[in-house]
Amino acid sequence: MSKALVVVESPAKAKTIEKFLGKNYTVKASMGHLRDLPKSQFGVNLENGFEPKYINIRGKGDLIKSLKGAAKNADIVYLATDPDREGEAIAWHLAHILNIPEQTTCRIEFNEITKTAIQQAVKNPRPINLPRVYAQQARRILDRIVGYKLSPLLWRKVRKGLSAGRVQSVAVRLICDREKEIQAFTPEEYWTIIAKLKEKTNSKAFDAELVAIDGQKSAINGELQAESIVSELNQAEYIVSDVKKRERKRNPQPPFTTSSLQQEAARKLGFTSRKTMIIAQQLYEGLTIGNMGQVGLITYMRTDSTRVAESAQQEARSYIENKFGLNYLPAKAPTYANKKSQDAHEAVRPTTLDLTPDAVATSLNKDQLKLYTLIWERFIASQMTPAIYDTLTIEITAGRYKLRATGSQIKFPGFLAAFSGAIGKSKEVEQTADSDLDKETTLPALLAGQVLKLNRLEPKQHFTEPPPRYTEASLVKVLEEKGIGRPSTYAPTIETIVDRGYVERIEKKFHPTELGFVVLDLLKQYFDKILDVEFTAGMEDKLDDIAEGDASWLNVLEEFYAPFAQDLSLAEEAIGHVELPVEVSDVPCENCGQMMVVKQGRYGNFLACPGFPACRNTKPILKDTGVKCPKCGGSIVERHTKRRRVFYGCEKYPECDFNTWDMPLKENCQVCGAYMVRHKFKNGGFSSICSNENCSSRQATDSAKTAADAEEKEVQAKAKKKPAANRRKNNG
């Protein structure tokens, strides 16, 4: 029997795959890329057909030596890197390092890490897909050209440490443009009028909103107009003019793509795109599930497709029939249209429905379980029947005014039954146009011509609001809609623009910084194409064409570089040094007395003396908690460790060494009077407790928590023993 070497990207993936293959297979991890363009130099020969200079990545020498040794001892080598362009490029570089000819059938790929998928992949190796490699190479060179040509320009003209990129610069533009819309927005006043009506004197009142005046849509722009209308409505007779009953359906959403997973995880779980992708990678590569060993829980998480394999659909249909009943099972398995032409991978879904969220709960950490539950429930729901609502619309006439009351009730839950509530209220409702179904409202059974009694009128003043700032979810959504980048690039793009100081997250919303505006305005003036949304989206389409073998990567690069080089030359000559606006604080420098200014560093803003370099005094910007230090009476402020972990300490440090991990609260303990803190327990829960460890209320809380933790451990221990007991019972 021949010996085979299988090379994957990560140790976790290797560990999961190894148990599916026999003793004649050795599985090793490449730890990602082993060759790349050099960091210390440009690495692309612009005069010789954009020839890239690839080198072995520093620090990977021992790993490369180990892989070469394993390949030498194997009769056949399989390259099982991720099934996307990046994975194809890694396989291509591995083939070069291991001296494997490009046309050798050495490449295997799979969409899920299950025994069936792995064994099927090994039976069907193929050559490396060179068009995919060329598409990845074109993207890498494009990003190298923009990054290594534009970034030094920003260093010279603005300040060191800045960067520019094809996708990140457009993302900054979207955020800055939205901020300008908000700044330019002028709110307009408008009023609504709600009538509280009753069927009978003792019946429950219901709401009807004024919707039309003299047959025209109501538009109430001021208080005087609202008061005049209220005066008339108080004298009017309210008559039911029409009652409409109908049945409405709400269809389930498709299973997750990369983009929709990032959006929903941001909305529901508060995860950043980066965190979502890290956890999804763990779920895909495999986790230890009880005594089953390493198990891959979801299919590949980088996909634009909503397609589901027929075998997975059949498994889902069987599960739905057994769990919910035939009424929840559509006549045929649902299919969902893909927004893009690529359909290389399935949607993100569980690899097997035998492993429910409850079944794996004790084997996953809190965040892994949340994301797995999100994926699980979305997939099951996508294969179920629509939810059905009974809706009721009542039109009411009051003289020359028309009012409307709407109500709805769930008649049949359909796919909504799949959502357990374990991760909060379902957001499926938010993604549909049926906003009138969001809240269940019961209306009385009324008939046309029936006279209603007015309980009271409620006029309310409103003001139009500016467009909202982008959140993680809405930014990912607009990037996808406009075709900017690809879902797999969203997470690093967002982290880069935050790390570079172009935008900042404030209460989970993106705010552009002054630096972001300055750099954007500079780039827009001289590199309008780089910042153009349609141009950037068009470049993504060209990369897709390269991957499909319909375009030459050299031609795409040549078309881009010629005008870019001209813009770069012009900008170098025309741009002088750009002075960034200086924000002066109210804090004097202890050394020279000048008012310190706000500067931006790698880890955020800080205060610096404007007398630099003569005076080099700096200090952090401290966030006051509003709580007094128990040692010296100074203010307790928020501080950060070198690893950016938050803790709290006295503002008078080092004179006062008070510090705590718990966030101080302004409330005082009712037992001893000490300040309260927000304490994080070992299991991840939070609670407000007294800061005084000797306080009886603190001791009671600690005892209760210890007892609860012990009870939870006991439950988990019983859950882990249960499968083994069941097996013994089944085996007689």
Contact indicator for 299, 112 with CB cutoff of 8 Å = yes
Q: What is the DSSP string of 77-107?
A: EEE---SSHHHHHHHHHHHHHTT--TTSS-B
Rounded CA-CA distance 731/726 in Å is 9
Query: Which residue has 């995919």 as its token pair?
Result: 132
Rounded CA-CA distance 635/622 in Å is 10
Contact indicator for 17, 27 with CB cutoff of 8 Å = yes
Smallest CA-to-CA distance from 390 within 418, 421, 365, 413 is with 413
Size of the chain in residues: 732
Smallest CA-to-CA distance from 649 within 630, 666, 676, 671 is with 630
Which of 300, 372, 561, 675 is flagged as catalytic?
300
- The two three-digit tokens of residue 75, written as one number: 């009769």
Partners of 241 in beta bridges: none
- Quickly count: other Cβ atoms within 10 Å of residue 716's Cβ: 13
Rounded CA-CA distance 517/725 in Å is 64
Rounded CA-CA distance 139/442 in Å is 56
**Beta-sheet strands, E only, within 644-715:** 646-650, 659-660, 663-668, 675-680, 686-690
Rounded CA-CA distance 374/418 in Å is 11
- Quickly count: other Cβ atoms within 10 Å of residue 213's Cβ: 17
Q: To 10 degrees, the CA torsion angle through 257, 263, 268, 273?
A: 100
Rounded CA-CA distance 415/317 in Å is 13
Smallest CA-to-CA distance from 381 within 431, 442, 344, 437 is with 431
Is 148 in the active site? Answer: no
Rounded CA-CA distance 57/689 in Å is 50
Catalytic site positions: 300
